Chain A
Amino acid sequence: QQQVKQSPQSLIVQKGGIPIINCAYENTAFDYFPWYQQFPGKGPALLIAIRPDVSEKKEGRFTISFNKSAKQFSLHIMDSQPGDSATYFCAAFWSGGSNYKLTFGKGTLLTVNP
């Protein structure tokens, strides 16, 4: 059972475009939703995160939109640059439990062409 579904699997945009990556979750107990960025050969790095009590969060060029009723959230990258080319993972987390494990989506490979 895949608890966090991520789409699209891959995405190609031109420099300056606004790629959008979508995620949907099933477990309503999740209460923290981070996004990770991973470059080839590297470990994932935390990019931005949101709690379900807000509908949007911005950090620099990265924005998370959150729809609690639909159990969906998305990442938008404004003015995308070739250096943003990476794999992006959404994740979900239940802070009320004792195990603190992240449940990841399958990832989106983003390519930003110059």
Chain B
Amino acid sequence: NAGVMQNPRHLVRRRGQEARLRCSPMKGHSHVYWYRQLPEEGLKFMVYLQKENIIDESGMPKERFSAEFPKEGPSILRIQQVVRGDSAAYFCASSPSRDLLTQYFGPGTRLTVL
């Protein structure tokens, strides 16, 4: 059973460009979470999604950031008009409905904004 998959693993963007980060949860998992990790910081919750629904986006910046988890396909975290401060590691986690306490993390996408 493959783990949580994220791509790309590394992404370089220039200021003002768009970044799209993809997350495929573990098979059978319908709950997806996105976290951001800044250098020497812990992970900060961004958004919690179930299929086709955003459950909690209290950690998402109000502007430029959006997330979706469509009925088919991976979850997408989209950052428009990136700025240098968006440089970070973005982790996706998933959990099954029967065990929402256990979140399985992917390897992360490291975003660098030049």
A35 to chain B, nearest CB (A): 12
Q: Min CB distance, B29 to chain A, in Å?
A: 12
- The smallest beta-carbon distance between A109 and chain B, in angstroms, is 9
B103 within 8 A of A: yes
- Which stretch in B63-71, B73-81, B105-113 binds the other chain? B105-113
Q: Please measure, in the bound complex, the distance between the C-alpha atom of A104 and the C-alpha atom of B35, giving whole angstroms.
A: 10
Q: Assuming the A-B contacts A46-B102, A101-B56, are A106 and B40 also in contact, with contact meaning beta carbons closer than 8 angstroms in the complex?
A: yes
Q: Tell yes or no: A12 within 8 A of B by CB.
A: no
Which of B41, B56, B103 is the one whose CB lies under 8 Å from A46?
Answer: B103
Classify chain A's interface size. Answer: 20 to 34
CB of B8 within 8 Å of the partner chain: no
Residues of B within 8 A of A106 (CB): 40-42
**Contact mask for chain B residues 88-101; partner A; CB cutoff 8 A; 1 contact, 0 none:** 00010101000011
Q: Which residue of B lies closest to A93 (CB)?
A: B101
Instruction: Let me know if A102 and B56 touch, CB within 8 A.
Output: no
